[in-house]
A = this chain, B = another copy of it.
């Protein structure tokens, strides 16, 4: 009995490891090639399993992609929450979000943005009731709340509608635009974040002095 349960647990573990590997590989290929240029065949080959095996884990290509984004957004949310928790001011919290995104998470965020902006896949994100829609919304609400809190505390300019501030903030996150900058090597992620924060907060802060850029 115990052996059986142990076996089951072992198998379950192996199963999860494989699933994780599939997600990982798919993410890489997706980032490199985009959704339609990525074939199940290639994923299977790279993972080292047969095509059919992919379908034992995910009922369709679309589901596989949703699983990746879902996982990524969740991780992102968690990271964001942790980053926020360590800060006291709302500005610092938003800066922490920026920083979290660009340091280490940028690869995933880049994929996320690429797919989010890809009309082919927009339905995945915008169909109400879809898991991704809800998760994304949750993240957007977090930002809104920080902005509103900042307005109340006097940190942010309350003459600007929160929704605009939110959109501008989300725009700044879009890593595609900064790809070239980072790839050029003239600047690293940490510096980039500081500059972006500088630009963003210099604008929305009610007073003028800013943190010095080292």
Q: In the assembly, what is the distance between CA of A180 and CA of B164, in Å?
A: 10
Interface SS of chain A? helix
Evaluate contact between B164 and A195: CB separation under 8 angstroms.
yes
When distances are taken between beta carbons in the complex, the residues of chain B under 8 Å from A194 are 213-214
Selected interface stretch from A13-21, A60-68, A76-84, A198-206: A198-206
Q: How far is the CA of A89 from the CA of B183 in the complex (A)?
A: 32
Interface locus among A1-9, A46-54, A114-122: A114-122
A174 CB, min distance to chain B CBs, angstroms: 5
A164 near B192: Cβ-Cβ < 8 Å: yes
Whether B198 contacts A213 by the Cβ 8 Å rule is yes
- B181 x A163 contact (CB < 8 A): yes
Please, how many residues of chain A have a CB less than 8 angstroms from a CB on the other chain? Answer: 58
Residue of B nearest to A118 (CB): B118
Supposing A119-B33, A120-B36 touch, asked if A187 and B174 sit within 8 A by C-beta, the answer is no
Question: Interface residues, chain A, CB within 8 Å of chain B?
Answer: 30-37, 111, 113-122, 159-161, 163-165, 167-168, 170-172, 174, 176-178, 180-181, 184, 186-187, 192, 194-196, 198-205, 207-211, 213-214
